[in-house]
C-alpha cells in the first residue's frame, strides 16, 4: 500500500495575525509555521496504514524554503521520502485550482494506491485541493474520511456527515481521501526518527520539470480583501410578561444567536 | 552526532573580557538547525501532552508516575541525547541536549527529576565510566529502566564538597569497598536505582563510586519537606557498611573532584537554560494576567509601573537567552576541534568555559528570581494564593540560586577562574591591566565611537571591560596569593564580568538579527538590548566603585574615581519610554515575544 500525503505548511495556530499592508492577506513577517492540522492527521493515518499493510509513504509539499521544516518533520515521523515543489512559479498557485494542478502534475508519474490530503487547510480552508487532484488524475475520491480500511479491490471509508451521522462507502483504488482532523492520535517525532530523516530522499521539483509555467498556475480566484471579524455589541430589551419574554429569549438564542 | 555549528574560530573561555567578538561569529537561537528545532518540538509536545496534564499528580509526589513519564521520555530518545550510540544512546551534541532541557522544563518538579537523571545521574558514567560500566549501565539509563542520582552533598559538606566525611575502605580480599556515611539532599533519592556516590578512600582520597540501590547497606531516608519542587524527590541516602564492588569505582581513586566539578559545568549550563525559559514563561503568564485584571476601570497592563515589570522580565529573558546560545556556540566550536567521543578531550573543551557556565547559572537563576517575584506582584493578592500559578513558581524558583553550586560559590568561581587563567598565561588579563595603567597616565582617552546601531553601547562596553580588567588587576596586585580572602572584591569583579557578558551577548545577537531581518523588524530586540546595556553600565560603575574604594585610598582613590567616571561616561537612554514600548508589544502579543 503506497500512500501519498499532501502537506501544507500554515502559520501557527497561536500566531498573532495582522492584515498585510495591501489589505489582501496577512502580514507574514515574524510568523512561525507548522503543518496544517488536518494534514498532520492525514500523515498519521498514512503511517498507520503503512505499519499495518506495508508499502511506502511519500509526502509532497509545495512552498518556499521554510516548508522544508514541515517536510522534515514528516520524514522524522516516518514518511519514506518527500517531494518539494519549490519554485517561484508555484507562488502563483494561490487558489485550489492552481495548487491542485501543480500537485497533480507532480504526482502523475508516481506509483501509489492512495492519496491523502487534509480535509481543509487551516489558512485558506478551501477544502477543494484534494478533489481537484482527484479529478486531474482520474482517481476515485471520498471526503471527510474518519476511518480507512483497505479491502480486496478497493478501500472502505467511513465518512462524516451532518449532525452526528456517518456513512461507509467503498471506492476502487487508486483513490484520494480527504482526512478529517482528530481521527487518530498523532505521534511524536522520536529523536531517532529526526536523525534518520536526514538521510531520506527529499526531491526538489521545479515548475519546468512538470511542464508548467507561471501562467498555467495563475489563479482563477483572487482574494480581494482580508479583514478581521468586526466585533459589534447590540443590546435588545425584550418586553412583556416574564413567561412570554423567556419564550422569546429562547427563540432568539436558538435561531438568531444559534447558541442553543 | 550532529555537527551544526559550522567550523569557526575557537574563542577561548573568558576571552570576551579582553577581546571583541564578531556578531557573525556568535551563535544565536535563530541559528539552530531543523533537527534541533524538531528535537525542541518533540520535547515541547511531550511536555504539553504528557507532563502538564498530570501536574497535580506529580505535585502530590506520585513518583510511580514520575518514573513512568521518564520512561515515556526515554522511548522518544529524550533521555539519551548525551549517551553515545554505542551504549544505546543518541550521541547528539550539547545543543540538542540544551534545546531539549529548555522544552522539558515546563513543570518544575519533573524538570528537576529529569534533569537530575540525565545530567548528574548519567553523565558521570558517560564521561568517566569504564567500558564495562558503560555497557552495564548506560543502555538502561537511556530508557530509565534505571533512574540515576548524584550523591555529593552531606550534612556537613555542601559548598565545601571535598570536605565529605563518607569513608570507603577496601575489604581484606580486595573485592569490595565498604562505604559509611550519609548523603543529603539527593534528588531522585526516593526512587533512583543508581547513585554516583562520592566518598574518601581511607578517609583521604576523594573518589566516586557507582552504587546500586540494592547493594547491601544502602538505604534511603524519608522525603525532605521542601519549600518548593514538591513533586520532585529529595532524600538523604544512608550508607551503613555498604558493600560496593571494586569494579564500581568510577574514574580514578583520589580523582573524584574531577568528576564532581566537570559534571557541574554542564549542570550549571542546563540549570541556566531551564531557569531562563522559566523567565519567558513567567513573562507570558504575568502579561496575560495584567491584560485581564482591571483596576480603576482599566487593565492593570496599562499602568506604567506594571509595564516596567513586564518589560524588565522580558529583557532579562532575552539577554539570558543570548548568553546561553552564545556559550553553547563557543563550546560546540571547540568540541569540533577535538574528538568528542574521547571523554577527556570533550570535558577539557567544556571546562575551558567554566566561567561562562557559572555566569549563566548565576544570571539566569537571579533573573528567574526577579521574574517570579514580580510575577507575584503583578498578580497582587492572587499572587499570594495557591489558586494561582505564580505562588508556586515563586517557591520553585528559589532553589536555582542554591544548587549546582550556590551563587556565592559561582561568583567566586567567575573571577577566580579569570585570575587562574591569567596566572597560567591562558588569558592576558595582567598584560591588559598593565596597558590600561599606562593608558591612564596619558592625558586623554580616545572615545572613538564606531558605527552601527549600537556604536555608543559598544564603545561603552569597551570601557566597561577596562573597568573589569582594572578591578581584577588591582586585586591581584594588592592581595596576591591572598586574593581568595577578598570575597567581596572578587564578587564585585564577577558582577562586572557578568554584566559585560550579558550586554555584549545581547548586542551581538541583536546585531546579527539586524543583519538578517533589518532594523525595523527587530525594534523590540534593539530596545531590550539598549535598556539592558544602559542599566548594566550603571551597575558596573557601582561595583567598580565599591571594589576600588576598598583597594585604594587618598590620592590614588581620587585619581581612580575620576578615571572611572571618564570610562563610564555614557549618555543615558530613555529607558522609561523604551520599556513602555516593549511592554506594549508584549501586551499586544499577550506573551513573551522577543
Ligand atoms: C532541592 C535540593 C536538591 C538537591 N539535589 C542535590 C543532589 O541531587 N545531589 C547533591 O549532591 N546535592 C544536592 N543538593 C544539595 C545542594 O547542592 C547544596 O544544598 C548546595 O550545594 C549548598 O550546600 P549547603 O546546603 O551545605 O549550604 P552551605 O554550603 O552550608 O552554604 C550556606 C551558605 O554559605 C555560603 N557559603 C558556603 N561556602 C562559602 C564560601 N566559601 N564563601 C562564601 N560563601 C559561602 C553559601 O553560598 C550559602 O549561602 C540539593 C539541595 C536541594 C535543596
What would the pLDDT profile of A40-70 be if each residue is shown by its tens digit? 999 999 999 999 999 999 999 999 999 999 9
Of A16, A30, A197, the CB nearest to B521: A30
Overall fold of domain B32-146: Butyryl-Coa Dehydrogenase, subunit A; domain 1 (1.10.540)
> Residue B282: is it exposed, middle or buried by C-beta count within 10 angstroms (0-12/13-18/19+)?
buried
Q: What is the mean pLDDT of residues B312-333?
A: 97
What is the CATH architecture of B415-573?
Up-down Bundle (1.20)
8 A C-beta contact, residue B532 and residue B510: no
Q: Are B46 and A188 within 8 A, CB to CB? A: yes
Give the position of cell 521545479.
A206
Q: Are A72 and B76 within 8 A, CB to CB? A: no
What span, in angstroms and rounded, lies between the C-alpha atoms of B314 and B455? 23
pLDDT of res. B441: 67
Q: Does B45 touch chain A (CB under 8 A)?
A: yes
Strand partners, A115: A4, A176
Distance from Cα B221 to the centre of ligand 1, integer Å: 19
Contact B152 CB / ligand 1 (< 6 Å): yes
Strand partners, A175: A114, A140
Between the two ends of chain B, the Cα-to-Cα distance in Å is: 31
Strand partners, A203: A83
Distance from Cα B162 to the centre of ligand 1, integer Å: 12
Q: What are the two backbone dihedrals, phi and then psi, of residue A3, each rounded to the nearest 5 degrees? A: -125, 130
Sign of CA dihedral B418, B424, B429, B434: positive
Strand partners, A60: A6, A83
Positions in chain A short of pLDDT 70: none
Between the two ends of chain A, the Cα-to-Cα distance in Å is: 45
pLDDT of B381-414, one tens digit each?
Answer: 999 999 999 999 999 999 999 999 999 999 999 9
3-state secondary structure of B143: coil
pLDDT of res. B2: 47
pLDDT of B499-521, one tens digit each?
Answer: 999 999 999 999 999 999 999 99
pLDDT(B535) > 80? yes
Sequence length of chain B is 594
8 A C-beta contact, residue B557 and residue B549: yes
Location of each CATH 1.20.140.10 domain in chain B: 415-573
Tell me the CB-side half-sphere exposure of residue B546, using CA atoms within 13 A: 17
Instruction: State the CB neighbour count (10 A cutoff) for residue A204.
Output: 12
pTM of the model: 0.93
Location of each CATH 2.40.110.10 domain in chain B: 150-254
Query: Given pLDDT bands bounded at 50, 70 and 90, which one contains residue B5?
Result: very low
pLDDT(B4) > 90? no
Distance from Cα B406 to the centre of ligand 1, integer Å: 6
pLDDT of res. A29: 79
Q: Are A194 and B42 within 8 A, CB to CB? A: yes
Strand partners, B443: none
Mean pLDDT, rounded, of chain B? 95
Contact B224 CB / ligand 1 (< 6 Å): no
Residues 148-207 of A with CB under 8 A from B: 188-192, 194-195, 197-198
Give the position of cell 489582501.
A24
pLDDT of res. B7: 53
Q: Are B42 and A192 within 8 A, CB to CB? A: no
Give the position of cell 496575560.
B288
Q: What are the two backbone dihedrals, phi and then psi, of residue A186, each rounded to the nearest 5 degrees? A: -65, 140
pLDDT(B444) > 60? no
Q: At what angle do helices B256-292 and B575-589 cross, to 10 degrees?
A: 80
8 A C-beta contact, residue B94 and residue B270: no
What atom in ligand 1 is closest to the CA of residue B406? 47
Cell of B39: 528535537
pLDDT of res. A234: 83
Q: What are the two backbone dihedrals, phi and then psi, of residue B155, each rounded to the nearest 5 degrees? A: -60, -35
Measured between CA atoms, the residue of chain A closest to residue B594 is A30
Q: What percent of chain A has pLDDT over 90?
A: 79
What stretch of H or E contains B211? strand B205-212
What span, in angstroms and rounded, lies between the C-alpha atoms of B488 and B491? 5
Q: Give the ranges where B336-427 is alpha helix by DSSP (H).
A: 343-351, 354-379, 389-397, 407-424
Contact B185 CB / ligand 1 (< 6 Å): yes
Inter-CA distances, A155 with A113, A158, A184, B253, B461, Å: 10, 10, 18, 68, 69
Residues 6+ apart with CB under 8 A from B443: none
Domains of chain A in start order, with CATH, are 3-210 (3.40.50.620)
- Residues of B involved in catalysis: 404
What span, in angstroms and rounded, lies between the C-alpha atoms of B312 and B308? 6
Contact B150 CB / ligand 1 (< 6 Å): yes
Q: What are the two backbone dihedrals, phi and then psi, of residue B181, each rounded to the nearest 5 degrees? A: 155, 180
Sign of CA dihedral A204, A205, A207, A208: positive
Q: What percent of chain B has pLDDT over 90?
A: 90
Residues 6+ apart with CB under 8 A from B320: B272, B275, B276, B279, B360, B363, B364, B367, B502
pLDDT of res. B18: 93
CA nearest to B5, candidates B478, B333, B317, B255: B333
Distance from Cα B347 to the centre of ligand 1, integer Å: 24
8 A C-beta contact, residue B568 and residue B467: yes
What stretch of H or E contains B319? helix B304-335
Q: To the nearest whole angstrom, how far is the Cα of B30 from the nearest Cα of chain A?
A: 12
Contact B88 CB / ligand 1 (< 6 Å): no
Of B37, B81, B590, the CB nearest to A191: B81
pLDDT(B48) > 50? yes
What span, in angstroms and rounded, lies between the C-alpha atoms of A4 and A177? 10
pLDDT of B74-117, one tens digit each?
Answer: 999 999 999 999 999 999 999 999 999 999 999 999 999 999 99
What span, in angstroms and rounded, lies between the C-alpha atoms of B95 and B84? 15
8 A C-beta contact, residue B66 and residue B191: yes
Give the position of cell 556568535.
B26
Instruction: State the CB neighbour count (10 A cutoff) for residue B589.
Output: 17
Measured between CA atoms, the residue of chain B closest to residue A31 is B593
Q: At what angle do helices A96-107 and A129-137 cross, to 10 degrees?
A: 40
Residues 341-400 of B with CB under 8 A from A: none
Distance from Cα A102 to the centre of ligand 1, integer Å: 64
Q: Are B76 and A69 within 8 A, CB to CB? A: no
Contact B389 CB / ligand 1 (< 6 Å): no
Candidate of B160, B185, B211 to mutate for ligand 1, largest count of ligand atoms within 8 Å of Cβ: B185
Contact B81 CB / ligand 1 (< 6 Å): no
pLDDT of res. A108: 95
Measured between CA atoms, the residue of chain A closest to residue B44 is A188
CB contacts, 8 Å: B38 with chain A: 72-73, 76, 189, 194
Residues 6+ apart with CB under 8 A from B341: B84
Sign of CA dihedral B279, B282, B288, B294: negative
Strand partners, A62: A85
pLDDT of B258-278, one tens digit each?
Answer: 999 889 899 999 999 999 999
CATH for the B150-254 domain, from 3.40.50.2300, 2.40.50.140, 2.40.110.10, 3.40.50.300: 2.40.110.10
What span, in angstroms and rounded, lies between the C-alpha atoms of B583 and B579? 6
What span, in angstroms and rounded, lies between the C-alpha atoms of A247 and A254? 11
Q: What is the mean pLDDT of residues B125-148?
A: 97
Query: Given pLDDT bands bounded at 50, 70 and 90, which one contains residue B447?
Result: low
What span, in angstroms and rounded, lies between the C-alpha atoms of A74 and A35? 9
Would you state the torsion angle of the CA atoms of residues A51, A53, A54, A57, taken in this order, to the nearest 10 degrees? -70
Q: Does A32 touch chain B (CB under 8 A)?
A: no
Best of B34, B51, B591 to disrupt the A interface (most A CBs within 10 Å) is B34
CB contacts, 8 Å: A29 with chain B: 521
List, as one string, the DSSP characters of A17-65. Answer: --B-TTSSSB--TT--EEE-HHHHHHHHHHHHHHHHH---EEEEEESSG
Amino acid at each position: 500500500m503506497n500512500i501519498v500525503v499532501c502537506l501544507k505548511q500554515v502559520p501557527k495556530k497561536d500566531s498573532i495575525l495582522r492584515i498585510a499592508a495591501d489589505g489582501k492577506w496577512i502580514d507574514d513577517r515574524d510568523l512561525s509555521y507548522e503543518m496544517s492540522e488536518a494534514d498532520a492527521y492525514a500523515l498519521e493515518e498514512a503511517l498507520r496504514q503503512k505499519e499495518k499493510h506495508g508499502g511506502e509513504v511519500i509526502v509532497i509539499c509545495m512552498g518556499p524554503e521554510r516548508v522544508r521544516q514541515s517536510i522534515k518533520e514528516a520524514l522524522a515521523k516516518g514518511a519514506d521520502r518527500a517531494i518539494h515543489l519549490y519554485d517561484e512559479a508555484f507562488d502563483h498557485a494561490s487558489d485550489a485550482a492552481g495548487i491542485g494542478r501543480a500537485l497533480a502534475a507532480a504526482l502523475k508519474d508516481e506509483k501509489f494506491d492512495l492519496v491523502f490530503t487534509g480535509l481543509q487547510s487551516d489558512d485558506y480552508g478551501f477544502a477543494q485541493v484534494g478533489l481537484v487532484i482527484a479529478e486531474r488524475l482520474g482517481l476515485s475520491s471520498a471526503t471527510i474520511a474518519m476511518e480507512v480500511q483497505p479491502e480486496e479491490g478497493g478501500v472502505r471509508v467511513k465518512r462524516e456527515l451532518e449532525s452526528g451521522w456517518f456513512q461507509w462507502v467503498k471506492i476502487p483504488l487508486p483513490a484520494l481521501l480527504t482526512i478529517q482532523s482528530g481521527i487518530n492520535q498523532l505521534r511524536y517525532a522520536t529523536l531517532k526518527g529526526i536523525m534518520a530523516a536526514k538521510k531520506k530522499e527529499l526531491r526538489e521539483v521545479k515548475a519546468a520539470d512538470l511542464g508548467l509555467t507561471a501562467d498555467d498556475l495563475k489563479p482563477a480566484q483572487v482574494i480581494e480583501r482580508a479583514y478581521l471579524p468586526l466585533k459589534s455589541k447590540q443590546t435588545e430589551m425584550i418586553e412583556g410578561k416574564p413567561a412570554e419574554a423567556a419564550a422569546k429569549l429562547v427563540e432568539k438564542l436558538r435561531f438568531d444567536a444559534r447558541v442553543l | 552526532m550532529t555537527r551544526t555549528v559550522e567550523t569557526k574560530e575557537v574563542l577561548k573561555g573568558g576571552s570576551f573580557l579582553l577581546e571583541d567578538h564578531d556578531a557573525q561569529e556568535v551563535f544565536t537561537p535563530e541559528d539552530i538547525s531543523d533537527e534541533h528545532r524538531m528535537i525542541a518540538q518533540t520535547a515541547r509536545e511531550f511536555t504539553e501532552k504528557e507532563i502538564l496534564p498530570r501536574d497535580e499528580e506529580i505535585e502530590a509526589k506520585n513518583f510511580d508516575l514520575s518514573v513512568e513519564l521518564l520512561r515515556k521520555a526515554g522511548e522518544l530518545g529524550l533521555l539519551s541525547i548525551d549517551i553515545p550510540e554505542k551504549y544505546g544512546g543518541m550521541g547528539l551534541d550539547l545543543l540538542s541536549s540544551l534545546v531539549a532541557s529548555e522544552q522539558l522544563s515546563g513543570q518544575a518538579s519533573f524538570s528537576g527529576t529529569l534533569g537530575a537523571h540525565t545530567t548528574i545521574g548519567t553523565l558521570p558514567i558517560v564521561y568517566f565510566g569504564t567500558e564495562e560500566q558503560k555497557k552495564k549501565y548506560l543502555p538502561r539509563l537511556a530508557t530509565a529502566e534505571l533512574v540515576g542520582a548524584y550523591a555529593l552533598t552531606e550534612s556537613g559538606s555542601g559548598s565545601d564538597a571535598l570536605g565529605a566525611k563518607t569513608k570507603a575502605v577496601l575489604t581484606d580480599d580486595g573485592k569490595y569497598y565498604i562505604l559509611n556515611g550519609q548523603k543529603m539532599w539527593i534528588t531522585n533519592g526516593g526512587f533512583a536505582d543508581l547513585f554516583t556516590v562520592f566518598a574518601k578512600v581511607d578517609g583521604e582520597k576523594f573518589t566516586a563510586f557507582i552504587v546500586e540501590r540494592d547493594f547491601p547497606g544502602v538505604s534511603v531516608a524519608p522525603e525532605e519537606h521542601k519549600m518548593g519542587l514538591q513533586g520532585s524527590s529529595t532524600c538523604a541516602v544512608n550508607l551503613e557498611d555498604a558493600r560496593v564492588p571494586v569494579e564500581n569505582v568510577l574514574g580514578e581513586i583520589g580523582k573524584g573532584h574531577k568528576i564532581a566539578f566537570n559534571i557541574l559545568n554542564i549542570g550549571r549550563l542546563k540549570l541556566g537554560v531551564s531557569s531562563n525559559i522559566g523567565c519567558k514563561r513567567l513573562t507570558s503568564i504575568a502579561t496575560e494576567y495584567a491584560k485581564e485584571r482591571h483596576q480603576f476601570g482599566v487593565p492593570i497592563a496599562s499602568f506604567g509601573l506594571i509595564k516596567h515589570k513586564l518589560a524588565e522580565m522580558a529583557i532579562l529573558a532575552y539577554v539570558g537567552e543570548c548568553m546561553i546560545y552564545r556559550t553553547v556556540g563557543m563550546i560546540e566550536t571547540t568540541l569540533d576541534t577535538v574528538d568528542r567521543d574521547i571523554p577527556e578531550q570533550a570535558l577539557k573543551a567544556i571546562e575551558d568555559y567554566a566561567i561562562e557556565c557559572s555566569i549563566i547559572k548565576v544570571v539566569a537563576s537571579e533573573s528567574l528570581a526577579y521574574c517570579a517575584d514580580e510575577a507575584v506582584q503583578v498578580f497582587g493578592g492572587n499572587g499570594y494564593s495557591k489558586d494561582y500559578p505564580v505562588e508556586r513558581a515563586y517557591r520553585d524558583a528559589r532553589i536555582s540560586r542554591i544548587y549546582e553550586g550556590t551563587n556565592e560559590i559561582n561568583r567566586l568561581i567567575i573571577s577566580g577562574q579569570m585570575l587562574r587563567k591569567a596566572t597560567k598565561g591562558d588569558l592576558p588579563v595582567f598584560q591588559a591591566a598593565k596597558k590600561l595603567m599606562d593608558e591612564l597616565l596619558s592625558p586623554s582617552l580616545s572615545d572613538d565611537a564606531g558605527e552601527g546601531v549600537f556604536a555608543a553601547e559598544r564603545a561603552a562596553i569597551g570601557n566597561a571591560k577596562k573597568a573589569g580588567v582594572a578591578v581584577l588587576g588591582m586585586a591581584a596586585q594588592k592581595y596576591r596569593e591572598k586574593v581568595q580572602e577578598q570575597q567581596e572584591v572578587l564578587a564585585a569583579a564577577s558582577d562586572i564580568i557578568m554584566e559585560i557578558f550579558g550586554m555584549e551577548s545581547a548586542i551581538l545577537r541583536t546585531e546579527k538579527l539586524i543583519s538578517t531581518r533589518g532594523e525595523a523588524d527587530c525594534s523590540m530586540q534593539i530596545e531590550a538590548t539598549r535598556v539592558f546595556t544602559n542599566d548594566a553600565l550603571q551597575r558596573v560603575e557601582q561595583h567598580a566603585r565599591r571594589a576600588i574604594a576598598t583597594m585604594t585610598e587618598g590620592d590614588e582613590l581620587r585619581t581612580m574615581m575620576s578615571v572611572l567616571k571618564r570610562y563610564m561616561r555614557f549618555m543615558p537612554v530613555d529607558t522609561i519610554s523604551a520599556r513602555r514600548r516593549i511592554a506594549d508589544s508584549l501586551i499586544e502579543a499577550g506573551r513573551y515575544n522577543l
